Amino acid sequence: MNKDDYISRAQKALLNTSAKIAERLRNVDEFGVTETQFRVLELLAKNEAHKVTDLAEKMGVKPSAVTTMIDRLANNGLVSRRHDDNDRRAVLLSITEEGREVIRKFEEKCRGMIKGYLSHLELNELEALATIYEKMENIDI
């Protein structure tokens, strides 16, 4: 086999494994949120507070769509709203501790799933895989 053959094998295995993992992780229903609502929680978890318009821009949707999602998330206690002290017309959104717990549980699910795959590897294989991924992570194409 030549280098191109190994690249093809690696590509196929990587894409197939990634697709399987992504499909299993796409189901966030068990956490009481939709995929889009989960994305909102992730965005809110990164910063202290967001305006609806900023969140809509980051998501590529209209502010009215974000407002509808926030209504549901707020009703479930996952997001809180408060008026901006500098601009009383603006509403700032923050993730609540319950919202952070949804993210923590999802991350636990991710770790468990990845661990399930990687636990089948020997220590030297894990070391090689980690080294390869770290190297790939730093390649700028």
Q: In this structure, what CATH number is given to the domain that contains residue 56?
A: 1.10.10.10
Beta bridge partners of 3: none
Angle between helix 35-46 and 63-75 (nearest 10): 90
The answer to the question of residue 25 being in a domain is no
Domain residues for the domain of 91 are: 30-137
The DSSP secondary-structure symbol of 28 reads: -
With a CB cutoff of 8 Å and minimum separation 6, the contacts of 19 are none
Mean pLDDT of the chain: 90
The answer to the question of residue 21 being in a domain is no
Taking only the tens place, the pLDDT of each residue in 34-91 is 888 988 999 999 987 788 888 889 899 998 998 999 999 999 999 999 987 887 788 8
The answer to the question of residue 85 being in a domain is yes
Give the sign of the dihedral formed by CA 109, CA 112, CA 118, CA 123. Answer: positive
What is the number of structural domains in the chain?
1
pLDDT of residue 21: 84
The answer to the question of residue 76 being in a domain is yes
pLDDT of residue 78: 96
The answer to the question of residue 18 being in a domain is no
The region of weakest confidence among 24-28, 66-70, 124-128 is: 24-28
**Could you give the CA distance from residue 18 to residue 101 in angstroms, rounded to a whole number?**
25
Residue 119 clears pLDDT 80, i.e. is over it: yes
- Using a 10 angstrom Cβ sphere, with 0-12 exposed, 13-18 middle and 19 or more buried, the burial of residue 73 is buried
CB count in 10 Å sphere of residue 63: 16
pLDDT of residue 88: 78
The answer to the question of residue 35 being in a domain is yes
The answer to the question of residue 16 being in a domain is no
The answer to the question of residue 41 being in a domain is yes
pLDDT of residue 32: 85
pLDDT of residue 48: 73
pTM tops 0.85: no
